[in-house]
Structure 1
Amino acid sequence: MVKFLALAVVAVSAVAQTEIVNGTEVPIGKYPYVTGLRRTETGSSGCGASLVAPKILITAAHCSSSAWATFASIGSHYLNGTKDGERIKIVKRTVHPKYNKATRFDYDIAVFELETASSFPPSSSTGTKTSSPPRASCPDVPIYSNAACQKALSAYSYNITASMICAGGGFKDTCQGDSGGPLTVTRNGVEYLAGVTSWGIGCANPGLPGVYARISEARDFIEPFLPKPAC
């Protein structure tokens, strides 16, 4: 099973994704590692991220532009405010060295480092649909091969590269505001982070999948930031 989980806002077309479309609201506390990136502690999240170590987040490289993301809201069920979860200051942002916005978000992955460790358990992955207040949601979505994805997007002059993975394309999708949030794959009951929400053509358009940064292609970039396993 493949699913996306995130934090949302409003839909736009042919830009970085951000609002989950036709997702199911998840129970409070089910995905505590889901993170919202905020300009202020109480403000609305403009991008998503995943807590993968106590002081480490994985998000989209395009979410690091202009360093607007100052705080990480971790473990919260809501898009803004301080009702639950915790807010921790972001102290360092490292973008993948091969990130190239000019080639439509190739290697669209970044690592954000936190000032203090989160008390929530890190995990491999997590989403939201706007409501009052916005809450977390997660649709199950189909995965496309890169060849099938390239064919589906052939009417648009975008190149699907090895650093990308495609999913969705049938009334369930990420959208404007979900950028940086995780795409997960469940195997034997364990969720693994497979992708980071990057871009798409509109939102949940039939036959047009969303595009994610492929985690397996960025492993060498990510691993130096993670704690070394105990021997």
Structure 2
Amino acid sequence: MVQAASVFALAAVAAVQAAPIVHYIKGDHQSTNTIEIVGGGEAAIGKHLYVSGLRDVATGPNYCGGAVISPTTILTAGHCAEGDWIEYVSIGSHYLSGSKDGERIKVKKIVHHPKFDMDTMVYDFAILELANATTVTPIEVLFDEKDAAGAPGVLGMARGWGTTSSGGSQSNVLKEVGLKLWSNKDCQAAFDKLNEPGLTPVDVTMICAGGVKGEDTCQGDSGGPLTVTKNGKDVLVGLTSWGLGCAEAGLPGVYARLSYAKDFIEPYLPKPAC
């Protein structure tokens, strides 16, 4: 969906039954590897302003995704925040780069989840504290595991910037793709069928979505939001984290599950009005 993430890029480094394993490998965040939405379409302009892009220069391209969760806070994936490359966040823009619309705000502090592990990808969360408040309305975070809005089988949406087909040219506009949520049990079973002992296990801190041929996040949109609809509006349930292959039938993508980071995220959320 966007350019390769931070100093850790997603890359296909092996092949397992026609599905390349997508791992995080050390590299340059400005590498030519692209992060793609496969099978998606252009998102409605101005409708999902909370979707954010992480940049090293104010008007440069987005190298990772994120979401506005408070006027001064962006939530992204922990692996995106490795290194010191994130300087700005582009908020509310429909475009991959530039300053045609939206806001560019300086990042003043980066906080990783204390349990984030780059090897196992557990607790793949990071907070970006902004130097100035955004005018964009934050997205609601869904923490309740029992809420039917985030149950297996529900249609989620992933959004970001990238190509509409594997290997195509990168899109300059925000795109989206619908992906059904999986149970962790079914997700792990799908990966187990590959008989690849070195694969990262599907942990309770993860949520899976997709698995329909030709529709997927491919090589990430690392840190980008996975949302569901509740009471007619988007709510945040996950962040793009890792996966196998690209838009392969029966192989969902893996996202960081927000319900397992409530204690980490909640202090940054807007306080309820009295």
TM-score, reference length from structure 1: 0.91
Matches of 1:15 and 1:144, distance apart in 2: 21
| Aligned 1:94-133 pairs, distance under 5 A | 94-103=111-120, 105-124=121-140, 126-130=159-163
- Which of 1 and 2 has higher RCO (CA within 8 Å, sep 6+)? 1
Taking only aligned residues, the RMSD between alpha carbons, in angstroms, comes to 1.8
2:250 maps to which of 198, 204, 207: 207
Matches of 2:172 and 2:75, distance apart in 1: 22
Identity %: 49
Matches of 1:205 and 1:68, distance apart in 2: 32
Equivalent residue, structure 2, for 1:141: 179
Matches of 1:28 and 1:176, distance apart in 2: 24
Equivalent residue, structure 2, for 1:178: 221
Matches of 2:35 and 2:171, distance apart in 1: 16
- Which stretch of the first structure deviates more once superposed, 119-128 or 190-199? 119-128
Matches of 1:177 and 1:198, distance apart in 2: 6
| Alignment partner of 1:15 is 2:26 | no
TM-score, reference length from structure 2: 0.77
| Alignment partner of 1:151 is 2:189 | yes
Q: Aligned in 2, Cα 1:227/1:124: closer, same or farther, shift over 3 Å?
A: closer
| Letter of the 2:229 counterpart | T
Gaps of 5+ in 2: 5-9, 13-21, 25-33, 142-158, 164-168
| Letter of the 1:81 counterpart | G
Equivalent residue, structure 2, for 1:36: 53
| Alignment partner of 1:45 is 2:62 | yes
Deviation of 1:133 (Å): 5.2
Deviation of 1:202 (Å): 2.3
Specify the SS of the correspondent of 2:58.
coil
For the 8 Å contact 1:74–1:86, the answer to whether it is kept is yes
| Alignment partner of 1:161 is 2:203 | yes
| Letter of the 2:79 counterpart | H
Deviation of 1:177 (Å): 5.2
- Choose 1 or 2 for highest CA Rg: 2
